[in-house]
């Protein structure tokens, strides 16, 4: 293959892509480029600009360990502050000239003769030794299949594509969905809208959020690196303990947390009928547990209604529910989440022997530690299958994955012209151990359906343990799990490929 290949192409300039690029650059792999289809960096935090958008992991934990900030304004920072942090990373780490914004990857193909990836973009072809997919797990908005949705006459938009030109003041606004996005939006827009109707399919378990600003003293103390590290560790371990003590299973902790959530509901909602309709019938933890102090009080407002009848159809001027009731609306907001499987498919990857990712994943998304796949040498995924976390900062997973990829880059440096490929046996052993733990997990036994499960009911989204356990397994590339492949020597992987 012609051209002077890069060390590394990273696809996606969100949290994970930037972390990868910074660490690779620092480790001396500076011939790299980040391809980003949008005209700005930020990923999730660029796209989700809805009113109230904020992290539900504290900022001192939801930030990169090697790029700390001491002046976060509050425990749970808002979107703008996180986006500014990410933009700051680009400036501080000199990434601006490695960014190719407004560049869409159309596909990428592994060339066995040269052990290089050929990445086709809408602005030309790039040849690279290593390709990293950092496209985020929750990217593609899921539009619900509601009959008549396309006929709605007023503005209708998804939370991740917020229409900032649409003034909600004095209008009848409908919100479909009661997930993490909706509980942040509803308190923000109620009061502006003439009336807000929230369409709930299933209620969420909600715990108090206790958000608060950091005062001047706290900021000064957190300016001291040892204290900041201690604080970060305490935030991390508090969350790890919940997983260690059984948050990933139906356990005594489940019942305890449910009591806390019920008490929170009782404290904030006086109406017993409303309380009943807001009480989930599945176990806490089966779907993502939400944090909010103002969602329940907002639902008690006279200008807000909670509708729990199923949506029968959307008409040009509102929503009709299964009981025949008509809910007239001027604006319809879809807080209906994301299609998690769509992200990596969009990269249109073709590995060894012309095998595509879609073919490799026809039995479900599958990668060694969520990172590497047999048949796809020198390709690594960040936030790939089974690396989502319900209880802790997903950046702990990202940092372990980045360290894993760096191990691959270092090995390759010592072996010019060759590629690393995960052994099929390592990948299938990892799959078996994850599936075994998932079989007994809260997501399988908690009595709910969720986007964590694919269309066949398999959980290819979450990691079934602590972030620490993941880090121990994935945070280092162990050469015994991989094989070196090269143009002159057909690999063992080729002989044992999946």
Residues that bind ligand NAP (CB under 6 A): 54-56, 138, 144, 146, 159, 176-182, 184, 201-202, 287-288, 311, 335-338, 451
Shortest distance, position 281 Cβ to ligand NAP, whole Å: 11
Shortest distance, position 179 Cβ to ligand NAP, whole Å: 2
Nearer to ligand NAP, 83 or 128 (CB): 83
Which residues fall within 8 angstroms of residue 350, CB to CB, at 6 or more apart? 107, 108, 109, 110, 356, 357
Nearer to ligand NAP, 147 or 223 (CB): 147
Shortest distance, position 201 Cβ to ligand NAP, whole Å: 3
Nearer to ligand NAP, 144 or 497 (CB): 144
Nearer to ligand NAP, 337 or 351 (CB): 337
Two tokens, residue 66: 């090697």
Task: From 64, 85, 82, 49, select the one nearest 165 (Cα to Cα).
Answer: 49
Nearer to ligand NAP, 367 or 395 (CB): 395
Cα 408 from Cα 58, distance rounded (Å): 31
Distances (CA, A) of 89 to 3, 19, 25, 31, 220: 30, 9, 13, 18, 22
Q: Are 46 and 184 in contact (CB under 8 A)?
A: no
Two tokens, residue 393: 């900062």
Ranked by CB distance to ligand NAP, the top (closest) residue is: 179
Helix (H) or strand (E) holding 199: strand 195-199
Two tokens, residue 339: 């299609």
Cα 54 from Cα 77, distance rounded (Å): 6
Shortest distance, position 53 Cβ to ligand NAP, whole Å: 7
Identify the residue whose tokens are 């489940």: 254
Nearer to ligand NAP, 325 or 358 (CB): 325
Shortest distance, position 203 Cβ to ligand NAP, whole Å: 8
Shortest distance, position 277 Cβ to ligand NAP, whole Å: 13
Nearer to ligand NAP, 98 or 327 (CB): 327
Cα 279 from Cα 112, distance rounded (Å): 56
Q: Are 139 and 342 in contact (CB under 8 A)?
A: yes
Number of H helices, E strands in the chain: 16, 20
Shortest distance, position 162 Cβ to ligand NAP, whole Å: 12
Nearer to ligand NAP, 103 or 292 (CB): 292
Shortest distance, position 426 Cβ to ligand NAP, whole Å: 28
Cα 114 from Cα 419, distance rounded (Å): 9
Q: Are strands 195-199 and 172-176 parallel, antiparallel or unpaired?
A: parallel
Longest dimension (CA), the chain: 74
355 alpha-carbon distance from chain centroid: 27
Shortest distance, position 17 Cβ to ligand NAP, whole Å: 18
Identify the residue whose tokens are 């799959």: 431
B/e letters for 346-362, b = 16+ CB within 10 Å, e = fewer, are bbebbbbeebbbeebbe
Nearer to ligand NAP, 279 or 425 (CB): 279
Shortest distance, position 16 Cβ to ligand NAP, whole Å: 14
Shortest distance, position 150 Cβ to ligand NAP, whole Å: 14
Cα 195 from Cα 152, distance rounded (Å): 18
Nearer to ligand NAP, 470 or 482 (CB): 470
Q: Are 22 and 66 in contact (CB under 8 A)?
A: yes
Provide the 8-state DSSP code for 98.
G
Cα 498 from Cα 374, distance rounded (Å): 7
User: Using CA atoms in the order 469, 470, 472, 477, what is the torsion angle rounded to 10 degrees?
Assistant: 160
Nearer to ligand NAP, 311 or 474 (CB): 311
Shortest distance, position 72 Cβ to ligand NAP, whole Å: 15
Nearer to ligand NAP, 23 or 139 (CB): 139
Q: How many CB atoms lie within 10 A of CB 172?
A: 20
Identify the residue whose tokens are 């709605």: 152
Helix (H) or strand (E) holding 276: helix 272-277
């Amino acid at each position: 293959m012609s051209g002077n290949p890069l060390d590394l192409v990273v696809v996606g300039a969100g949290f994970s892509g930037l972390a990868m690029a910074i660490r690779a650059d620092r480790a001396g792999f500076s011939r790299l480029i980040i391809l980003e289809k949008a005209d700005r960096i930020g990923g999730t935090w660029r796209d989700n600009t809805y009113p109230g958008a904020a992290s539900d992991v504290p900022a001192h934990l939801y930030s990169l360990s090697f790029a700390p900030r001491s002046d976060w304004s509050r425990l749970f920072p808002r979107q703008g502050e996180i986006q500014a942090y990410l933009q700051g990373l680009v400036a501080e780490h000199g990434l601006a000239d490695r960014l190719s914004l407004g560049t869409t990857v159309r596909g990428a193909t592994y060339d066995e003769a040269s052990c290089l990836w050929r990445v086709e973009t809408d602005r030309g072809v790039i040849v690279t030794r290593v390709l990293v997919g950092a496209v985020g797990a929750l990217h593609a908005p899921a539009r619900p299949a509601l009959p008549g949705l396309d006929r709605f006459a007023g503005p209708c938009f998804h939370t991740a594509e917020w229409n900032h030109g649409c003034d909600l003041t004095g209008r009848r606004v409908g919100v479909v969905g009661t997930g993490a996005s909706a509980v942040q939006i509803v308190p923000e827009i109620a009061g502006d809208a003439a009336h807000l109707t929230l369409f709930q399919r299933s209620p969420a378990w909600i715990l108090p959020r206790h958000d608060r600003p950091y005062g001047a003293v706290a900021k000064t103390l957190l300016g001291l690196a040892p204290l900041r590290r201690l604080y970060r560790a305490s935030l991390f371990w508090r969350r790890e303990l919940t997983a260690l003590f059984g948050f990933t299973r139906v356990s005594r902790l489940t019942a305890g947390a449910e009591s806390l959530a019920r008490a929170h509901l009782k404290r904030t909602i006086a109406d017993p009928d409303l309380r009943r309709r807001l009480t989930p019938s599945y176990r806490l933890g089966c779907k993502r547990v939400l944090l909010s102090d103002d969602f329940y009080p907002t639902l008690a407002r006279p200008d807000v209604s909670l509708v729990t009848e199923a949506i029968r159809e959307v008409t040009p001027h509102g929503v009709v529910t299964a009981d025949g009731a008509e809910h007239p609306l001027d604006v319809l907001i879809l807080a209906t989440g994301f299609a998690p499987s769509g992200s990596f498919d969009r990269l249109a990857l073709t590995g060894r022997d012309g095998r595509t990712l879609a073919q490799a994943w026809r039995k479900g998304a599958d990668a060694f530690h969520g990172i590497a796949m047999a048949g796809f040498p020198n390709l690594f995924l960040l936030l790939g299958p089974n690396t989502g976390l319900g209880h802790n900062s997903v950046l702990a997973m990202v940092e372990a994955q980045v360290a894993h990829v760096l191990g691959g880059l270092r090995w390759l440096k010592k072996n010019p012209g060759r590629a690393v490929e995960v052994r099929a046996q390592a990948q299938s052993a990892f799959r078996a151990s994850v599936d075994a733990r998932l079989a007994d997990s809260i997501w399988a036994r908690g009595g709910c359906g969720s986007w964590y499960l694919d269309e066949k009911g398999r959980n290819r989204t979450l990691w079934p343990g602590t972030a620490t356990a993941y880090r121990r397994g994935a945070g280092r590339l162990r050469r015994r799990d991989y094989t070196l492949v090269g143009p002159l020597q057909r690999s063992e992987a080729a002989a044992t490929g999946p």
